[in-house]
């Protein structure tokens, strides 16, 4: 970015089919992860500078936005004929960090289920913090902000507009923030599926050796839990239902006694008396057919 002392104010060129922020007024970003991202930026004392790009974001001055591992690229139309090139760098996590995070997530049944369902749980931030690599930048220097415009302030309005559109992109696809940190959606989900299936395979092998009842092993395998599953996890495991008779011994006229007496227009007590023989006939038919069904 060139370091000009000053330059005359100018109006940006209009853009057709630009990327417009969905929010027409007020705050931008609706999900916890997009709001958290913007809150982090504002904590770096960038709040007043960020607002410079809000109008650009809402007017559709951002022409393109691409999130890649370690880098966000954008093209933003300003006052000049050629759009400005914007890049925002954020160091991707190494494989060791991802391995720790993936193992931790695989051991959290609820978090894994949310991720596999396309949602990013708030616990994800703590998982990466425990792995020694905070998900969001900790300081402004963690972000490598570059723009080809002549504005010497960082962020300029082109960078700020990109930040806002990036936050809304996180709303649409929460996995973009993980892609920015170095892991594609399918890579992460496939790894979680693998890790979640490993305890099931171990349980199945143990059951074949006869070291525990097959029903317990199948239940744990279906739940994707290890043998050291907590009591809270075991609470949700399916339990066999107690045996119950196929047919209950109930008075055939019970239903007629339970229902209110029909109105006079429907026949009143006379209708009940007509229905009673039919219910008794249905009961006898059921008793006669029950032995044949059992024998079949």
What is the C-alpha separation between 230 and 105, in angstroms, rounded? 16
Residue 126 C-beta-side C-alpha neighbours within 13 Å: 5
Return the DSSP state at 19: B
pLDDT given for residue 8 in this prediction: 55
| C-alpha distances in Å from residue 206, one per residue of 129, 137, 142, 194 | 35, 44, 48, 19
Residue 119's contacts (CB-CB under 8 Å, 6 or more residues apart) are: 174
Instruction: Name the region of 8 (left: φ>0; alpha: ψ -120 to 50; beta: rest).
Output: beta
* Residues 203/217, Cβ–Cβ less than 8 Å: yes
Q: What angle do CA 182, 185, 190 make, to 5 degrees?
A: 110
pLDDT given for residue 279 in this prediction: 73
What is the C-alpha separation between 95 and 183, in angstroms, rounded? 10
* Residues 32/40, Cβ–Cβ less than 8 Å: no
Instruction: Name the region of 268 (left: φ>0; alpha: ψ -120 to 50; beta: rest).
Output: left
Residues 194-218 have pLDDT tens digits of 998 865 544 544 445 444 443 333 3
pTM over 0.95: no
What is the C-alpha separation between 31 and 65, in angstroms, rounded? 19
Q: What angle do CA 277, 278, 282 make, to 5 degrees?
A: 115
Residue 123's contacts (CB-CB under 8 Å, 6 or more residues apart) are: 108, 111
Beta-bridge partner residues of 89: 71, 144
Strands 62-68 and 143-147: unpaired
Collapsing DSSP states into helix, strand and coil, what is residue 26? coil
- The tens place of each residue's pLDDT in the chain, 296 residues long, gives 444 445 556 788 988 889 998 877 778 888 888 999 999 988 887 777 788 889 999 999 999 999 999 999 999 999 999 999 999 999 999 999 999 999 999 999 888 888 988 888 889 999 999 999 999 999 999 999 999 999 888 899 999 999 999 999 999 998 999 999 999 999 999 999 999 886 554 454 444 544 444 333 333 333 444 434 444 444 444 555 555 444 445 566 666 565 666 776 677 677 767 777 887 777 777 666 655 444 44
What is the C-alpha separation between 159 and 143, in angstroms, rounded? 11
- CA nearest 203: which of 219, 190, 188? 219
* Residues 85/195, Cβ–Cβ less than 8 Å: no
Residue-range domain boundaries for the chain = 18-93+137-182, 195-235
Residues 29-73 have pLDDT tens digits of 888 889 999 999 888 877 777 888 899 999 999 999 999 999 999
């Amino acid at each position: 970015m060139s370091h000009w002392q000053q330059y005359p104010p100018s109006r940006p060129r209009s853009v057709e089919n630009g990327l417009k922020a969905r929010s027409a007024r007020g705050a931008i970003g609706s999900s916890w992860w997009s709001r958290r991202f913007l809150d982090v930026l504002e904590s770096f004392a960038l709040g007043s500078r960020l607002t410079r790009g809000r109008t650009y974001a809402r007017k559709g001055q951002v022409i393109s936005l691409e999130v890649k591992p370690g880098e966000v690229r954008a093209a933003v139309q300003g006052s000049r004929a050629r759009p400005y090139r914007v890049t925002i760098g954020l160091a991707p996590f190494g494989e060791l960090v991802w391995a720790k995070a993936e193992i931790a997530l695989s051991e959290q049944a609820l978090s894994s289920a949310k991720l596999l369902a396309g949602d990013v749980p708030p616990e994800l931030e703590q998982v990466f913090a425990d792995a020694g690599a905070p998900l969001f930048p900790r300081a402004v220097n963690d972000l490598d902000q570059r723009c080809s415009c002549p504005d010497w302030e960082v962020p300029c309005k082109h960078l700020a507009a990109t930040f806002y559109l990036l936050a809304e992109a996180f709303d649409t696809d929460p996995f973009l923030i993980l892609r920015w940190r170095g892991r594609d959606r399918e890579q992460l989900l496939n790894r979680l599926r693998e890790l979640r299936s490993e305890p099931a395979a171990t349980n199945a092998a143990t059951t074949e050796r006869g070291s525990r009842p097959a029903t317990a092993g199948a239940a744990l395998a279906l739940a994707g839990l290890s043998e050291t599953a907590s009591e809270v996890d075991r609470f949700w495991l399916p339990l066999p239902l107690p045996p119950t008779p196929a047919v209950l011994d109930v008075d055939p006229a019970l239903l007629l006694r339970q229902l209110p007496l029909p109105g006079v227009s429907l026949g009143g007590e006379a209708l009940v008396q007509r229905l009673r023989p039919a219910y008794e006939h249905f009961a006898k038919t059921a008793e006669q057919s029950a032995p044949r069904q059992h024998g079949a």
